[in-house]
Amino acid sequence: MVRWLRTTLALLAIFVVAGFVPAAAQTPSPAGAKVYFINLKDGDAVNSPFLVQFWLSGMGVAPAGVEKPNTGHHHLLIDTALSAEQMKEPIPSDANHVHFGGGQTEAMVTLPPGQHTLQLVLADWTHIPHVPPVMSQPITITVR
């Protein structure tokens, strides 16, 4: 028992010294889960502000902070993408990464004229994308 404790403490010390922090756990998604835009498709032209409607199949929507299997909340990526590293972390919150932590399934979006890319990403109650990720294809739209 004492030896076990000593070994455990030694290992912990090594982790601390090495700066090793286990990554926050990612939540599994069920097979076949999909998220996509209902009312927009690649190549569309819109007037700003415009409505964006989110569809989710194979999973449910739950507000941020509510831990429940096979659920998540929507995120809209605007003119950006998540790197492989970012896919394992809470999604940033800024003008390019919009959270719908209240469980919203649509939003009015205001963007300046020009081309913009939009992508939907579902993430778990702590804002971390699922494994495998549940995300739409990015679409490019033109704001008139």
Q: In the complex, which residues of this chain contact Cu ion (CB under 5 A)?
A: 99, 127
How would you class 54 by CB atoms within 10 Å of its CB: exposed for 0-12, middle for 13-18, buried for 19 or more? buried
Shortest distance, CB of residue 56 to Cu ion, whole angstroms?
14
Burial class of residue 95 in the structure, from the number of CB atoms within 10 Å of its CB (0-12 exposed, 13-18 middle, 19+ buried): exposed
Identity of the residue, 63 or 138, whose beta carbon is nearer to Cu ion in the bound complex: 63
Cα–Cα dist 61/143, whole Å: 29
Nearer to Cu ion, 99 or 130 (CB): 99
Least distance to Cu ion from the beta carbon of 89, Å? 12
Q: How far is the CB of 72 from Cu ion (least distance, A)?
A: 8
Q: Closer to Cu ion by CB, 90 or 138: give it.
A: 90
Asked if residues 64 and 99 have their Cβ atoms less than 8 Å apart, the reply is yes
Cβ proximity to Cu ion: between 74 and 143 the closer is: 74
- Residue pair 128/88 in contact (Cβ under 8 Å)? The answer is yes
What is the smallest separation between the CB atom of 84 and Cu ion, expressed in angstroms?
19
